[in-house]
Structure 1
Amino acid sequence: MRGRRAVAFALSGLLSLSAFAATPYQAAKAPAKGPVAAQKDRTKALLQFQKDLASVVALSTEAEPLLGAALLARPLVNPPQVLTYHALLERASRNADAGPRVAWAQLADCDAKAGACPNADAVASLVSQAPDNAAVWLLKLGMDVPQGNDKQAREDLAKAAVAKSYDDYLGASMKALAMSVSQLPPPPDTFDPLQGAGAAGVQMEIVFGLAATQPLPMFPATAQYCEGHKDDEGVVADCLKLAKVLEWGSSPLGRSLGLHLRETLASDTADQLSAKNARVNLVWQMQQFARLHMEGLGDRAKAQKLLSLARSGGTEMSVILGSLNAYGIKAEAPPGWEPAKLESAK
């Protein structure tokens, strides 16, 4: 029972940060206050704008614009066949420069109701295209653990531990979207009357909102697997190797998992404390980015800056840290600051 409680505690910490990390994107998608009918009209206008954007961007033959078009089209209801998520990603995948970013998006090209997610062909493609990416093996581990396939999960962990990097390609999705949304001006009926950023605010809302819907590995499954095998020295060693890969990876959620693994599995007390302090800094970074994002919805210049950073490429983490740097916000939390002390958006 004590082991189960430890797992539950570890996962609660990971999931709380997961929920917080999604805050800026969730804020972008949250319904504006006001009459329900007005909000429905705006939602309808936003979807029509996304359809118009996808139609224009889909005229391209290159992988990145087609990826952007697919992400724009994904929420559409009964789009024309040529504008379906599947059709656009299929076209993107035929390009020589498609790479694993397109295959990663194809993970969501599946029937969840039929239990066919993630897309098996996309998983196989990622294993072939990006064997040195820990995200691919954590994705597989998250599939194998629920099925009770312990032997395969152990192999997944071993491969993730020796991977060169972690990248879930959210940065690539943000760039594709940020490049796509500028192809047409947002019509006035897409503007939120309670937010003052105008067209830039709408574009930022679409970019960060849709990028956040991209697939992610099941981080709790990895945490649970490592915790459940903490008496196995080989597993612990691989989990700690994985932790280092994740700490330097593309995702704040991945970093959170890496720091959690180091804090709970490292034998050295100083190493545990270092990981704990680094997690505090990570939460600080996410809170400050959330504040900048909320401010951007009402500040045209700030929205344009965040869009510019998204267009620059890189990773989700580099966009977050670049945003903090652009506004003179330190990446380290102030002395004595605690995650529980949430700051309200100014």
Structure 2
Amino acid sequence: MRVRRRLAISLMLGLASLPMATMARDKAAPSPATTRAQALVSFQRDLVSVLAPRADAMPLLGAALLARPLPNQPSSTNFHALITRAARADDASPAAQWARLTDCDAAARTCPNADALAALTAEAGDNAAIWLLKLGQDSANERRGDAREDLRRAAGAKLYDDYTGTALQALATTVGTLPPPPAAIDPGSAAGAWGVQVVMVFGVSGLLPAPQPGMQATARLCEDGKDDPAIRQSCLQLAHLLEWGSSPLARSLGLHLRETLSDDPEAQAAARAEMTNLAWEVRNFAALSARAAGDKALAQHLLALARNGGTEMSLMLAALRDEGIPLDAPGASEAAAIAPTASTVAP
């Protein structure tokens, strides 16, 4: 979500400014914001070092995610080492393998990680996200028959989960392992250490490269094959599953498919209204999360929601409800009944 990318700015500033330490001493002193960002990155390294000796999956997943954007990590505490251990832990869940999908070299065309994808197919074959990931691959490689089979498997799955909720839970349950150093805390922020933790949780998740299920490829396959009864049936079945999926992106695709493939004008109008509501929810949660960096009570609440687990969608909706923010956009149903809206699916 956009909010995680915005909260990642502090971390990116710190990461980008690390080489400054090697510059001549007569350069101007860094700004307070840059100093805080550098302290935040140092704190991130300390957290990884403290968490790395753990043997259980969730702390190792948190450590791996914290290590992922850090440059020049030692081989024993870099993303590859930690996510491999997290995936092999006795209590590992598919979320670790999902994160391990990005343990690859895009330049060498080894993404996603083949071993992780094979493990997910075996361990979480009832998750449509895995089959949409494969659909994107097969479509890119022009394996049309395989892509159709991927679509069928995705439509027959029990759920869609991209494990973002578990990643946020892993981060939220580990960032409190150490207190943040005073240098990392903005003296002008009322949130104090809680604000640092919010930036760590949502900022780190915004920095991470994420596996990309083939959303656009799925939309194209469904739209190009809408006159094929088998494809149309699979796409409508998938649409219903995605509408209850774990992420706003999945729900967006589900609503898009319902709007474009349904023969029922009322169903089309309802999909447009729900798409407007979804955009409203995402915008309001983005504003809420950005405000949390300077609001102690709100930061504590969002961190508690993340620690409780669930999905990205469930966290977002719970946060909005708890703040008294309506989930329906003003006038969404009326506007949707008048005219279609342009709906797009992000890559």
Q: How many residues align?
A: 318
Q: Distance in 1 between matches of 2:240 and 2:54?
A: 39
The verdict on how the C-alpha distance between 1:123 and 1:202 changes in structure 2, with shifts beyond 3 A counting, is: same
Residue identity (%):
50
- Report the alpha carbon displacement of residue 36 of structure 1 after superposing the two structures with TM: 9.7
Structure 2 portions without partners, runs of 5+: 14-27, 342-347
Is residue 24 of structure 1 aligned with residue 3 of structure 2? yes
After superposition, residues 206-221 of structure 1 pair within 5 angstroms as 206-212=200-206, 213=208, 214-221=210-217
Equivalent residue letter for 2:6: A
**CA contact under 8 A between 1:168 and 1:216: conserved in structure 2?**
no
Residue of structure 2 equivalent to 1:37: 30
- Report the alpha carbon displacement of residue 43 of structure 1 after superposing the two structures with TM: 3.1
Residue of structure 1 equivalent to 2:311: 315
2:281 alignment partner, SS class? helix
- Report the alpha carbon displacement of residue 207 of structure 1 after superposing the two structures with TM: 0.7
Q: Distance in 2 between matches of 1:318 and 1:228?
A: 32
Q: Distance in 1 between matches of 2:212 and 2:239?
A: 17
- Report the alpha carbon displacement of residue 41 of structure 1 after superposing the two structures with TM: 3.2
Structure 1 portions without partners, runs of 5+: 1-21, 341-346
Residue of structure 1 equivalent to 2:107: 113
Q: Distance in 1 between matches of 2:105 and 2:143?
A: 23
**CA contact under 8 A between 2:276 and 2:332: conserved in structure 1?**
no
**CA contact under 8 A between 2:65 and 2:171: conserved in structure 1?**
yes
Residue of structure 2 equivalent to 1:139: 133
Is residue 277 of structure 1 aligned with residue 277 of structure 2? no
Q: Distance in 1 between matches of 2:149 and 2:126?
A: 14
CA root-mean-square deviation: 2.1
Q: Distance in 2 between matches of 1:113 and 1:50?
A: 27
Q: Give the alignment partner of residue 306 of structure 1, picking from 302, 306, 310.
A: 302
Equivalent residue letter for 1:28: L
Residue of structure 2 equivalent to 1:252: 248
After superposition, residues 129-278 of structure 1 pair within 5 angstroms as 129-192=123-186, 195-212=189-206, 213=208, 214-278=210-274
Is residue 328 of structure 1 aligned with residue 324 of structure 2? yes
After superposition, residues 31-110 of structure 1 pair within 5 angstroms as 31=10, 37-38=30-31, 39-110=33-104
Q: Distance in 2 between matches of 1:88 and 1:285?
A: 34
Q: Distance in 2 between matches of 1:210 and 1:245?
A: 29
**CA contact under 8 A between 2:165 and 2:309: conserved in structure 1?**
yes
- Report the alpha carbon displacement of residue 250 of structure 1 after superposing the two structures with TM: 0.7
Equivalent residue letter for 2:305: L
Q: Deviations over 1:69-114 (max 9, x none)?
A: 0001111111111111111112112222212111001001011121
